Structure 1
Amino acid sequence: MDGTTGNNRLLDKITIFGEDFKYLAYKVTYSVVFPIGFISNSVALFVFLRLTPKKTANTVFMTNLAISDVGFSLTLPFRLVYYFRGGRWDFPDWFCRWCVFSFYVNLYTSVLFLTGLSVLRYIAVVHPIRNKSLVTVWRARLSCFAIWVFVACSSMPFLMTGTTERHNKMRCFEPGNNKSWNRIYSLNYVGVSFGFVIPFITILVCYGCIICKLIKGRKIGNRRGNTRRRSVYLIAVVLSTFLLCFLPYHVARTVHLYAKVLNESCPVIELLVKILVISLCMAASNSCFNPLLYYFAGETFRTAIRRVSDRRTLGSFSHSGVYPSFRRRKSHHATIPKLASDCCLIKTGCAN
């Protein structure tokens, strides 16, 4: 009896210490990710929807990626309120379920949209002749819709876990019992297989073919330099996102769930929880990396930004009086042909 009581006290101390570390990490991460991710992706969404008249397959995938990031960013303030209140959920139970659901939807739609962009770049570089016939806006929209439906249906089980009461507080983002842990353990392998391993292998194959094509030095249309540069930017941003955001989280989550289900010792669980918290913070920050992809790898996005900046530059010149002086000079020079014609009329005696 005494030994059981001592183990429970030790477990409570570890839980409290782990919560302090977890809450601090989440508060710092979400306080940074929310403004950066929300503002940058909202601007990108505005550019794609309002300033990009000609839609392409790439802009369709990037638009959906921005929508996913904005939707997830809108749930971060509620997570911050929860962690700043010391782990007390004061919102409805259904909203707790929705916040958990939105995290996984954003995570795996981001993975699949990035994979789709990699496949599009592969087709454009390796099969440029068949690119126009294979890649269309309608097919891109259909693919994005299928991704939304697949991820939403796969994430439905997370709507089954809502708030739980612990230490006289309503908790969220925490499995309530062993049944919930076993459900998450089973879903983890589905998420890892279809949400990370298969997409990661796909982009590695695509990028391997792209690199081989570029190394051979074959000309791709009349825009070889632009295609090479955009391909390098896409490879750099997508691989960085996968290696920094998605890979650590899936590895840490798998190991932690495995140890949790097998009832490993408390020190092991404590260490794995810390690693999982850090990796989850990195996974949540993926929405801050995607705007870099829009700018450096998206030619349409950069063109729209430059068009807006050029209009503002022209407007500032007009207000500063540069163009009126130019028009005055133009109207002054326009009188020269008239004077020359008058002189000719005088010489020929045709003028009165």
Structure 2
Amino acid sequence: MNVSLLNASMGNVSINESLVTCFHKDDEFKYRAYTSTYLVLFPVAILCNIGALVFFFLQGSRRSSASCIVMMNLAISDGSFSLTLPLRLAYYYKGGVWIFPDWLCRLCVYGFYVNLYTSILFLTLLSVLRWLAVNHPLRHRALVTPLRTLLVCLGVWLCVGVASAPFLTEGVTHRGGSLRCFEPSSPSSWGRILILNYLALALGFLFPFLTIIVCYSRIVRRLTSRFDVHSGSLSGSSQSGNTRRRNRRRSVHLVSMVTATFLLCFLPYHVIRSLHLHAVCGGWNCTVTKALQRAVVVTLCLAASNSVVNPLLYYYSTRTFREHVRDAQSSIRRTGSNRTRLSLKSRRNTTS
């Protein structure tokens, strides 16, 4: 970042101080943290999400169910983001030097925010679908169709893609004689980022988070009720009651995991990011700003890890997904044992 540009306005003195004195003296911590995190995330995320997509496509008729459509879009989002991780790895491994074209820098920045907020909205949509299925099964059958679900998912992609478009304007910058990426291009950029942060915080995080909390509380209330309003009998009094109870348990598991994902991956990042932006724009104490900068690094790593947390959600919330995984595991074991038997048999024939 050009220091003369930072000094161009007296109103930006505090931003200059925070950026130059605090941020970049602590770059080594950021580079180490991101390198180690993305080194672990990339192979796990790409394998898990490609594997999830394969399993979903193998489900045949179940592939067109509303939940399956949403999960497939979630896996596409996470898989697409994981494809940008090698570029980030190369950048941080080289000590913050960007060696790729400018458009790839813009695409990496844009891809992170698209993945972050499509993941949040798809997880919210899953919770809403599960709430409808449990609390309003008749309305769920009437309203939720594969086509409508697909259109909603396309709407999520469109809205998030358009809302994240400002991040395509931030490309490669020059600082310290090197090309840099993932850094604001000028002091005025921080003010714009602060405004975008609050829009994303309200519409992309708080509203979805409150929605899943409401869904969660109503599903739990319904599950803990001994009387089944729709059937007019006690839950679990027949085989169909046992089936409903299992389905509702899976619903609670799903919404519980979604809530845990929000609390672990998304909440810390949004809170710390907001505080950090205020520290930068407000010229807070250098020590506080540096501590918040480190906290942003840690919470951003947690936010990026949602790409490997979501496949766990597919596994524990979808019975058919678990069955496919177990079938694949048993098939691999059978193949391995058959090869072992053939090898032992050939050795015996050779020695005899």
TM-score range for the pair, normalised by the shorter chain length: 0.7 to 0.9
Q: Is residue 103 of structure 1 aligned with residue 103 of structure 2?
A: no
Assess if the C-alpha contact under 8 Å between 1:256 and 1:269 holds in 2.
Answer: yes
d(CA) in 2 for partners of 1:153 and 1:255? 25
Task: Tell me the CA shift for residue 224 of structure 1.
Answer: 2.4
Question: Could you tell me which residue of structure 2 aligns to residue 42 of structure 1?
Answer: 50
Give the letter aligned to residue 29 of structure 1. T
Give the letter aligned to residue 247 of structure 2. T
Show CA shifts across 1:258-313 (max 9, x none). 12111223222111101111111110101111011101112332243355557678
Task: Tell me the CA shift for residue 152 of structure 1.
Answer: 0.1
The higher radius of gyration belongs to 1
The equivalences for 1:115-134 within 5 A come to 115-134=124-143
Question: Could you tell me which residue of structure 2 aligns to residue 228 of structure 1?
Answer: 248
d(CA) in 2 for partners of 1:316 and 1:12? 58
Task: Tell me the CA shift for residue 71 of structure 1.
Answer: 0.2
Question: Could you tell me which residue of structure 1 aligns to residue 303 of structure 2?
Answer: 283
Stretches of structure 1 lacking an aligned partner (at least 5 in a row):
322-352
Q: 1:225 to 1:86 in 2, by over 3 A?
A: same
Assess if the C-alpha contact under 8 Å between 1:249 and 1:283 holds in 2.
Answer: yes
d(CA) in 2 for partners of 1:11 and 1:294? 41
Q: 1:299 to 1:9 in 2, by over 3 A?
A: closer
Assess if the C-alpha contact under 8 Å between 2:74 and 2:118 holds in 1.
Answer: yes
Q: How many residues align?
A: 316
| Secondary structure class of the residue paired with 1:302 | helix
d(CA) in 2 for partners of 1:245 and 1:195? 14
d(CA) in 1 for partners of 2:19 and 2:340? 71
Q: Is residue 32 of structure 1 aligned with residue 52 of structure 2?
A: no
Q: Is residue 173 of structure 1 aligned with residue 173 of structure 2?
A: no
Show CA shifts across 1:231-280 (max 9, x none). 23212211111001100000011111112111223222111101111111
d(CA) in 1 for partners of 2:168 and 2:339? 56
| Secondary structure class of the residue paired with 2:174 | strand
- How high is the TM-score relative to the length of structure 2? 0.83
Assess if the C-alpha contact under 8 Å between 2:18 and 2:280 holds in 1.
Answer: no
* Identical columns (%): 47
d(CA) in 1 for partners of 2:282 and 2:29? 24
d(CA) in 2 for partners of 1:82 and 1:124? 45
Which of 79, 95, 98 matches 1:86? 95
The equivalences for 1:334-349 within 5 A come to none
d(CA) in 1 for partners of 2:139 and 2:323? 25
Runs of 4+ residues over 3 Å off in structure 1: 7-17, 50-53, 219-222, 303-321
Assess if the C-alpha contact under 8 Å between 1:11 and 1:266 holds in 2.
Answer: no
Task: Tell me the CA shift for residue 133 of structure 1.
Answer: 1.1
- How high is the TM-score relative to the length of structure 1? 0.83
Give the letter aligned to residue 141 of structure 2. K
